[in-house]
Amino acid sequence: MDRGGSTSSHWHGPHPPGRPALPPSESSPSATPQAPVPRSRPLGPGLQILLGLVHFGFVVTYLSEPLVRGYTTAAAIHVVVSQLKYTFGISPARFSGPFSLIYTVLEVCYLLPQTNVGALVVSIVAIVGLILVKELNNYLSKKLPVPIPVELIAIVVATLISWQVNLEDKYGVDVVGLIPSGLQPPVLPTASLFGQVIGDAFALSVVGYGIAISLGRIFALKYGYKVDANQELIALGLSNSVGGIFQCFAISCSMSRTMVQESTGGKTQVAGALSAVVILFITLWIGTLFEDLPKAVLAAIIYVNLQGMMKQFRDIPALWRTSRVDMCVWVATFILTVLFNPDLGLAASIAFSLLTVIFRTQLPSYSLLGRVGDTDLYRPVEEYNQVKQVPGVVIFRSSATLYFANAEMYQDALAEKTGLDITSILSAKKKLEAKRKRQEKKEAKRARKDAKKDRELQGELELEKQKEIAVIKMREDLRDPSLPRAVILDLSPVNFLDTVGVKTIRNIRRDYGDIGIDVLLTGCQTGVVESLQSGGFFSGQVTKACLFSTNHDAVLHCLSERTDGSHTDSESEEEDMPATSF
């Protein structure tokens, strides 16, 4: 822990006194340290500039709020665990890679008997003291113009006590030790470390930027100016590049400190400049005075200031009530980040949150629509009482877009909802056709035989033949009236169609067309029609006449067609066959 540059976000643009439109999201007005954002080599900033130049800012759109909050909470857990060794005054082995947090906790538990009592006492006193003063701050927040600088007081007091009591020599309490005063000479980054840190550096760049840009947007909205995502990314990268050469912490911003600064009236870069001067003063001259500061106190400050992060656990019940899927994203992000560390964890979390989109569209609800009274509105039959299905017309809608991951379910759901076992109807039909063909052949044969033979068996054969015809006729009759005349697929929730989707609709049209049911499409967006076109859906037989703007138009078309008594080409051919064969 060489040195930390205190940074807070500042903004450009108009700065009228207008009342705050958004309440601060963290109740604690105290400053939180940079701890959750680990220190990076200049590789991270370099990455940020590069990413900014290639307009990588869009990646932040994948960092949804539940993900960022789950991620920062998990990062806080990582920070807490990394500080445990100072609190207990022990030296556990270092672990890296997946599950290193678990190993570290186990190692700390294993080493607990070797706890340095002095360090533990210092920790407990510091934590209790900090919490008490913080509560006092909260309690007096309206009366005090500025909160009590409790961390500063804690550091000064702890240093004084440590120096007077000589905690280090008497009780073996680990202290900060030599603090180089003055500015460090600029050092070029160690290129050999790039391979080791690239994962963390990438995660750090993206998350640090994500936090900065979302905070920036909150204030942009409040004060009515615009934030250019890529400009911010490049600016952040440049700052971090310069800072990295001087071995600074990576720069991001602190929600709570920004809120404090804004509420105390600091609205321009002057506030940032002032606080930078104070830090410079401490760095150059006063820093050396704190060599006796016990590390346990620093750890205590970190714990207490991570309270705000820990409060984010309250998101879980809140999200449980509002959106279960988003709760899953929060919890999964937290667990993945705790287990696989911030770098891999971020990648896995983003992948998971993208998968939720798939899951959400992959398991849609399917419904049959019916007409609302005498209006032209069509609503799901299951959900409304006054909704009635139009006789002879089935209107089917999926709540989600139709694409490869749910194309098969779409067909299954259609068959289930319509109650038409299309495969068995088709196979029955094919058997029937085969039977008819066989019979026609038989008849032809028989006709030839009959010409030769005498007519004594004629009566019996005729009887047999009539029986078979009766069976066929019965089946044909049985099939006809129960089947709907048309199936209307309401495609208004479809966002896009891939080749699998086009093929699915084509198959449905073909299969239902084969058993004499017309398939109409309604509510297609322009892009969907284009996909149907380029996917070869329309052909000589299938024209754009099967597309309708609204369900009502399609229903009117079906009803008018029925009263006319005219069928589509494909079915009239096949339906007329039995009639003519008699």
Query: Would you say 154 or 328 has its CB closer to its own copies?
Result: 328
Q: Cβ distance 333 to 74 under 8 Å?
A: yes
Residue 444 within binding range of its own copies, rule CB under 8 A:
no
Residue 502 within binding range of its own copies, rule CB under 8 A:
yes
Residue 325 within binding range of its own copies, rule CB under 8 A:
yes
Query: Would you say 136 or 426 has its CB closer to its own copies?
Result: 426
Angstrom distance (rounded) from CA 57 to CA 496: 25
Q: Give the number of residues in contact with its own copies, rule: CB under 8 A.
A: 77
Which residues touch 403 (CB under 8 Å, ≥6 apart)? 361, 496, 497, 498, 500, 501
Angstrom distance (rounded) from CA 5 to CA 419: 69
Give the nearest distance from C-beta 70 to its own copies in angstroms: 13
Residue 111 within binding range of its own copies, rule CB under 8 A:
no
Give the nearest distance from C-beta 341 to its own copies in angstroms: 20
Stretch in the footprint of its own copies (CB under 8 A) among 259-267, 278-286, 493-501, 562-570: 493-501
Stretch in the footprint of its own copies (CB under 8 A) among 172-180, 250-258, 336-344, 521-529: 521-529
**Identified binder of its own copies from the candidate list 62, 163, 171, 538, rule CB under 8 A:** 62
Q: How many helices (H) and strands (E) would you count in the chain?
A: 21, 7
* Both structure tokens of 27: 């109740």
Give the nearest distance from C-beta 202 to its own copies in angstroms: 18
Angstrom distance (rounded) from CA 41 to CA 243: 9
**Identified binder of its own copies from the candidate list 436, 446, 465, 503, rule CB under 8 A:** 503
User: Locate tokens 């369900």: which residue?
Assistant: 551
Which residues pair with residue 175 across a beta bridge? 294
What would the DSSP string read from start to end of 131-190?
A: HHHHHHHHHTTTT-SS---HHHHHHHHHHHHHHHHTHHHHH---B------SPPPP----
Is 468 exposed, middle or buried (CB count within 10 Å of its CB: 0-12, 13-18, 19+)? middle
Q: Which of residues 126-185 bind its own copies (CB under 8 A)?
A: none
Exposure letters 333-354 (e unless 16+ CB within 10 A, then b) = bbbbbbbbbbbbbbbbbbebbe
Report CA torsion sign: 568, 574, 575, 579. positive
Angstrom distance (rounded) from CA 336 to CA 325: 16
Report CA dihedral (554, 557, 558, 564) to the nearest 10 degrees.
180
Angstrom distance (rounded) from CA 495 to CA 398: 12
Residue 339 within binding range of its own copies, rule CB under 8 A:
no
Q: Which of residues 341-400 bind its own copies (CB under 8 A)?
A: 351, 353-355, 357-358, 360-362, 364-365, 376-377, 380, 383, 399-400
What would the DSSP string read from start to end of 183-214?
A: PPPP----GGGHHHHHHHHHHHHHHHHHHHHH
Q: Which of residues 285-324 bind its own copies (CB under 8 A)?
A: 319, 321-323
Query: Would you say 88 or 330 has its CB closer to its own copies?
Result: 330
Residue 498 within binding range of its own copies, rule CB under 8 A:
yes
Q: Which of residues 541-580 bind its own copies (CB under 8 A)?
A: 549-550
Give the nearest distance from C-beta 271 to its own copies in angstroms: 20
Q: Cβ distance 380 to 371 under 8 Å?
A: no
Query: Would you say 288 or 399 has its CB closer to its own copies?
Result: 399
Give the nearest distance from C-beta 534 to its own copies in angstroms: 5
Residue 199 within binding range of its own copies, rule CB under 8 A:
no
Give the nearest distance from C-beta 455 to its own copies in angstroms: 32
Angstrom distance (rounded) from CA 450 to CA 350: 79
Query: Would you say 59 or 282 has its CB closer to its own copies?
Result: 59
Write the binding mask 205 to 244 for its own copies: x where contact by CB under 8 A, - elsewhere. Answer: ---------------xx-xxxx------------------
Give the nearest distance from C-beta 71 to its own copies in angstroms: 14
**Identified binder of its own copies from the candidate list 238, 242, 461, 500, rule CB under 8 A:** 500
Strand 486-490 and strand 393-398: the pairing is parallel
Give the nearest distance from C-beta 411 to its own copies in angstroms: 10
Q: Cβ distance 402 to 428 under 8 Å?
A: no
Which residues pair with residue 548 across a beta bridge? 522
Give the nearest distance from C-beta 400 to its own copies in angstroms: 4
CA atoms within 13 A on the CB side of 353: 26
Stretch in the footprint of its own copies (CB under 8 A) among 99-107, 268-276, 306-314, 522-530: 522-530
Stretch in the footprint of its own copies (CB under 8 A) among 41-49, 466-474, 495-503, 573-581: 495-503
Residue (of 368, 356, 297, 325) closest to 154 by Cα position: 297
Q: Which of residues 8-37 bind its own copies (CB under 8 A)?
A: 14, 16-18
Q: Which of residues 399-438 bind its own copies (CB under 8 A)?
A: 399-401, 403-409, 423-424, 426-428, 430-431, 433-434
